Structure 1
Amino acid sequence: MSSELPTVVATKPPKTRTRLIIYLIAAIVLALVVIVVVINIVHRLPETGSENGVDSSEQDSTQMVIIASTTGMDQQSTSESSSSSSSLDEDHTDSDNTSLIQVTVTDSAVSTTQYPTVSENNMTNEQQSTTLESIVGESTTPTEDTVTELISETECGKTCSVSVVETIPRGIWFADPVYTKNAFESWAELLGTAKSEIDIFAYKMNLRGKELRYDVDNSTFEGRELYNIMEEQAKSGILIKLIDCRPPTNPANVYDADEMERLGLIQRQGLDMNTLNGGMGGIQHSKTFIVDDRHLFVGSMNFEWKSFSQKLEIGLEFHDCPCIAQDASRLFDQVFNSLAGKEKLEMVDFPKHQIGNSTFQFLASPSFLLNSSHSWDLEALLNLIYEADDFVDIAVMQYFPSWIYFKNREFFSQIDNAIRMSLSRGIRFRILISGDEKEEQKLMFSYLHSLSVLHSPAEKRNIQVKYILIPQTAQEAYKDRKMHAKFMLSESRTLIGSSNYAPEYFYKSTGTAVVVNEAPHYGEINRQLKQVFERYWSSAYTQNLQKFGESKGFIPKTSKPSNPFSGWFGFDHIGVFNEKYTATGFLYEKDHDEDNLILDPIIYI
């Protein structure tokens, strides 16, 4: 046996593990390179999974995308593609161009992204058109008004509150409680809130009642307080601008305006609608004021002491609602600046604004101030009647289907025809008119009587007419106590304004209004106004058309039958079903809607 050890041959270690590590590192590097290339390619392609840079996962919660200019002036647009982005001049600082902000409103937050400025000099007309379409669509151009509207719309939805405002004359008591805001308190709050500017459309400016020698019952208290607030605001540096009626229909109407102008407390422009209409009449009849372009009041109240203590008035207060306040402000600025000779009068339009569950739109008259009839209060009024599905309730100081301030008094059929045509399709109408002392009352009574004769429940034509009278003694005639409110409502729309329902107010005179669209029978504004109307309608201060005509001598009074047995075959003549008078002063009459008898007190004036 040999003692030598076996020979061991040395071999090289295997290379498998080393190569595997190298391959893995190379693969990782290659993958990173591919990812970087893909990312760059994706960023250079148009975005299809998102809109305006908003990730598709966020679109479900996105409510509104707004393109806004940081200066509020000229709007430019930016494209979502890199080809359009390449035309942006990043070093451009020309103040004529503005950078764009995209505001994305989600359920939980508001985020903003600022885009570079678009230089008009670096873009062709076709490129500019393409970038506009990429943001707002093929047929829409983002004008200054559109952008401002969209911004305000978002802000309105967060801050805006709307209140029904009412004046109930002193000494008047309604049995049915209805929550409304007191007009004096509303005005004091809004005027006292001003931080920079108050703009006023006023038919009258006489808050202190300087025409009165004695104010024995302090009827001017509220008006004097409001004047003091305005005076203090003006002295503190708040700019107050006024557009009022020129010439005034009564010298007393402008006592306070003259005083404030003399003291340098206001900037004032008088609007002579007769001259503007080429000698065809008309007055400045708008009753609206705007505070800081954020707060707005629209209604029937004049800047007069009577509007806060003597008259039934109605209005809407918009608190922290810049969207609709700025609509009224645009109209005011156009008229004021044109009267001051600063610029040519241009027509305006007013969009609809969604505030909560309701849609609001500011309206005006006459139509020649407007770009579109859709902003005209007459068109909104007619549409309310024609598009009603159930009922229309009307409360207005005057109703005239004719020109009443012109010699020939031509017939004006638009509102009257709307009522008659809607009545024929089953819409129920109730019309409440002010029973104040006016020489035109007989003519108005004739028109209303011609409507009332159409009432026929058997043929499903239901229309009732009443007058409301605010009591006052002969010694108090100077207080002019009456219903001065002007509003109309259906089951889904409400219109509150400054115009009586006669053609002069819509065609020759200025007026302002607001129309509210809500869910049928569920709108909050509509519900409140419905309650206000019901309270007026069923109160002790109303008379039906027949009794009002008798009390005024427009129709002969119904006399008591001389023979109590002469009417067995005509029950209405013996007082069984239609008692014409009683010792207690109450009147029994047949209800127009039902066969049940109702009790309706006679009002003696």
Structure 2
Amino acid sequence: MPEYKKLENQDTDVESAPRPVQDTQGEPRPAAQMVTVSLIMLLFLGSSYFQPRPRLHQYQGGRGHGLHQKYDCNIQLVESIPIGLTYPEGSPKFLSTYEAWQQLLDSAKTSLDIASFYWTLKAEDTPGVKDNSTQPGEDIFARLLANGNGGSRSPRIKIRIAQSEPSSVSPNLNTKLLESAGAAEVVSISFPKYFGSGVLHTKLWVVDDEHFYLGSANMDWRALTQVKEMGVLVQNCRQLTLDVAKIFSEYWYLGNSAPSKIPNWDWSYRTNFNLQQPMQLNVNKNTTMEGFLSSSPPPLSAWGRTNDLDAILNTINSAITYVNIAVMDYYPLIIYEKNHHYWPFIDDALRRAAVERGVAVKLLISWWKHSNPSEDKYLKSLQDLASKKDNVDIQIRRFIVPTDASQENIPFGRVNHNKYMVTDRVAYIGTSNWSGDYFTDTAGIGLVLSETHETESTNTLRSDLRNVFERDWNSKYATPLK
């Protein structure tokens, strides 16, 4: 199912994993030699040693690459279009999520890391549903299971799975089968243990430190045929893949950790690439872009990593002419706690963009059987600012995936599950819905790709994402907010 809410606490076993170096106070423990060197530097440099310096220049990583080096990357949009949802001939169309995952499995030579919310790839995971649209999910699961060869031989590749802890709602029987067959190593992360609430909401595949998938699709057969999804397939892009792999390494560590405290992440989790110093990318051999990966919640943002909320706010704040947003849920609230709390950060940024800078704002928000009608109040409050006289352009539409009688029996299907934003300069694709909880206690990742003045092609990944938005916005499935 696209979204569960809260999971029950569950202890995890302690296994070997890279661990941040800490002393008893939880701070990094420098070697004695470094202490000596630092004292000598203090003697020679005096007070100038304490002058503020840009934080990102203090840590240069361990691979010897210059921050201004340009890296080649193949990046394409991938979508899941639910069965029965059709567009006019000639509409934008991209690789399917199913095809993207198949490509990643085909290319895997040594390793596959998957970060997931829950697992329901098999038809039997949705009792009472008899539908041939389960087959793509069954295919993906069969390929993963075959990695263990029934436990009779060593796995072909090393598969590691970091998942949100199972619960009575999502028992994750798929991963139990994979683990028992010797096909994968599995760890479960209890976010309530660390934050009091929350889940691992990331949807990520990392292959051979060369390729990855990031997007809205859960490890769910419905995400391939019954739910509308948006993501990216990144191939032959080692540096960006190594960077997202560091975030997976944090999940893997937490899944093997006994203490209920987020550690001070050591240098191996840190990044040079962020909002202030993005990675320089040559995308698809025709577009120069700047890119970085953001994460949430803040305690999972190791040194140098931009928080996901900051990435979103900067994308809105840097827009010049328009901001187009497609997300399943939009609330300026903390909604999964007993008492709701006002959480206005994204909402305020959109209001400022429209009112102060004349930026045209469009929100395409999902409507399905599990939508909360109270969401309309906040959306209407935002849209009510629109005024031709004052040059304030805010438009909101609901996207409704059509459902026939048989599809009605599929639980938690038939919804636009997208989580992306596109502006005149930036494409942002994430894994989080837009309410405060997803940025305060729930794990997610965002990929930010910005065009530069060097871009010559008019057909870019950003323009592709804009075309997807316009296709959906102008489709018969989008209706004005009532």
> Same fold, TM exceeding 0.5?
yes
State the distance in 1 between where 2:441 and 2:94 align: 32
Partner of 2:226: 310
Partner of 2:212: 296
State the distance in 2 between where 1:153 and 1:147 align: 16
Q: Does 1:224 align with 2:118?
A: no
Identity among equivalent pairs (%): 26
Q: Does 1:337 align with 2:253?
A: yes
* 1:446 alignment partner, one of 371, 377, 391: 377
Contact 1:394 1:488 in 2 (8 A): yes
State the distance in 1 between where 2:374 and 2:56 align: 51
What residue identity is the alignment partner of 1:167?
Answer: S
Partner of 1:29: none
Q: Does 1:391 align with 2:353?
A: no
Partner of 1:528: 464
How far apart are residue 157 of structure 1 and its match?
Answer: 2.5
Are residues 142 and 389 of structure 1, via their aligned partners in 2, closer, same or farther at CA, if it must alter by over 3 Å? closer
Task: Report the TM-score when normalising by structure 1.
Answer: 0.63
State the distance in 2 between where 1:221 and 1:152 align: 44
Segment of structure 1 superposing worse, 227-236 or 356-365:
227-236
* 1:518 alignment partner, one of 442, 451, 457: 451
Are residues 153 and 269 of structure 1, via their aligned partners in 2, closer, same or farther at CA, if it must alter by over 3 Å? farther
Contact 1:312 1:484 in 2 (8 A): yes
How far apart are residue 211 of structure 1 and its match?
Answer: 2.6
Q: Max radius of gyration: which structure?
A: 1
How far does the alpha carbon of each residue in 1:408-440 deviate from its partner, in whole angstroms, 9 at most, with x for none? 1111110111111111121101100111112x5
Partner of 1:424: 355
State the distance in 1 between where 2:292 and 2:122 align: 33
What residue identity is the alignment partner of 1:177?
Answer: S
Give the CA RMSD over aligned residues. 2.8
What residue identity is the alignment partner of 2:234?
Answer: F
Contact 1:492 1:523 in 2 (8 A): no
Task: Report the TM-score when normalising by structure 2.
Answer: 0.79
Which one has a larger percent helix, Structure 1 or Structure 2?
Answer: 1
Q: How does 1:585-600 map to 2 (within 5 A)?
A: none
Are residues 248 and 295 of structure 1, via their aligned partners in 2, closer, same or farther at CA, if it must alter by over 3 Å? farther
How far apart are residue 316 of structure 1 and its match?
Answer: 1.0
Q: How does 1:238-253 map to 2 (within 5 A)?
A: 238-248=157-167, 250-251=169-170
Q: How does 1:139-218 map to 2 (within 5 A)?
A: 146-148=61-63, 150=65, 157-158=71-72, 160-175=73-88, 176-213=90-127, 216-218=130-132
Are residues 142 and 363 of structure 1, via their aligned partners in 2, closer, same or farther at CA, if it must alter by over 3 Å? closer
State the distance in 1 between where 2:332 and 2:304 align: 20
- SS of the residue corresponding to residue 286 of structure 1 reads coil
Partner of 1:582: none
Are residues 384 and 151 of structure 1, via their aligned partners in 2, closer, same or farther at CA, if it must alter by over 3 Å? closer
Contact 1:373 1:379 in 2 (8 A): no
Q: What are structure 1's unaligned runs of at least 5 residues?
A: 1-123, 131-137, 547-605
State the distance in 1 between where 2:373 and 2:129 align: 33
State the distance in 2 between where 1:232 and 1:144 align: 42
Contact 2:296 2:444 in 1 (8 A): yes
Contact 1:334 1:346 in 2 (8 A): no
State the distance in 2 between where 1:148 and 1:270 align: 31
Are residues 232 and 400 of structure 1, via their aligned partners in 2, closer, same or farther at CA, if it must alter by over 3 Å? same
Partner of 2:479: 543
Q: What are structure 2's unaligned runs of at least 5 residues?
A: 1-38, 46-52, 150-154, 283-287
How far apart are residue 545 of structure 1 and its match?
Answer: 0.6
Partner of 1:500: 433
- SS of the residue corresponding to residue 319 of structure 2 reads coil
How far does the alpha carbon of each residue in 1:504-537 deviate from its partner, in whole angstroms, 9 at most, with x for none? 0011000011001114895711100000001110
Partner of 1:85: none
Q: More relative contact order in 1 or in 2 (CA 8 Å, sep 6+)?
A: 2
How far does the alpha carbon of each residue in 1:178-212 deviate from its partner, in whole angstroms, 9 at most, with x for none? 14222111111112211111111100222113234
How far apart are residue 144 of structure 1 and its match?
Answer: 8.5
Contact 2:146 2:183 in 1 (8 A): no
Partner of 1:264: 182
